[in-house]
């Protein structure tokens, strides 16, 4: 079962999460979502437990629990939804506006 973990302090590591959640069963994977540019945590991540029963126990036991000074928001992860908009690329932007006559 995949679990969403939010409101995490930026200093929490994947090992911290694994240790905290392993009290409720077998942790099969842990991932903290990080900013692509800076590499800093975005304050949320996912923990995957070996079974639904272990996952429910972890949600009940960890939701609202304090970890490194912040109360965690823990619930079952929802499937990622594709809104059909696709990625964001943009084209080349030119400085100074969009053409036309130059200003004097």
- CATH number of residue 55's parent domain: 3.30.70.330
Higher pLDDT, 21 or 88: 21
Any domain includes 32: yes
DSSP 8-state secondary structure symbol assigned to residue 90: -
Q: What is the mean pLDDT of the chain?
A: 87
Task: Identify the pLDDT of residue 99.
Answer: 57
Residue 95 pLDDT exceeds 90? no
DSSP 8-state secondary structure symbol assigned to residue 22: G
Any domain includes 35: yes
Q: 53-67 burial by CB neighbour count: b if 16+ within 10 A, else e?
A: ebbbbbbeebeeeeb
Any domain includes 12: yes
The predicted-structure confidence for 29-67, as pLDDT tens digits, reads as follows: 999 999 999 999 999 999 999 999 999 999 999 999 999
Prediction pTM value: 0.76
* Total domains, the chain: 1
Domain that holds residue 42: 2-76
CA distances from 55 to 25, 41, 47, 98, 101 (A): 8, 23, 9, 54, 63
End-to-end CA distance of the chain: 64
């Amino acid at each position: 079962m995949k679990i969403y973990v939010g409101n995490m302090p930026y200093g929490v590591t994947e090992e911290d999460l694994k240790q905290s959640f392993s009290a409720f069963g077998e942790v099969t994977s842990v991932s903290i979502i990080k900013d692509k540019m800076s590499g800093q945590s975005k304050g949320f991540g996912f923990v995957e437990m070996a079974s639904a029963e272990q996952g429910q126990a972890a949600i009940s036991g960890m939701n609202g629990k304090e970890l490194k000074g912040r109360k965690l928001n823990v619930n079952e992860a929802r499937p990622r939804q594709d809104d059909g908009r696709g990625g964001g690329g943009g084209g080349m932007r030119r400085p100074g506006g969009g053409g036309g006559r130059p200003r004097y």
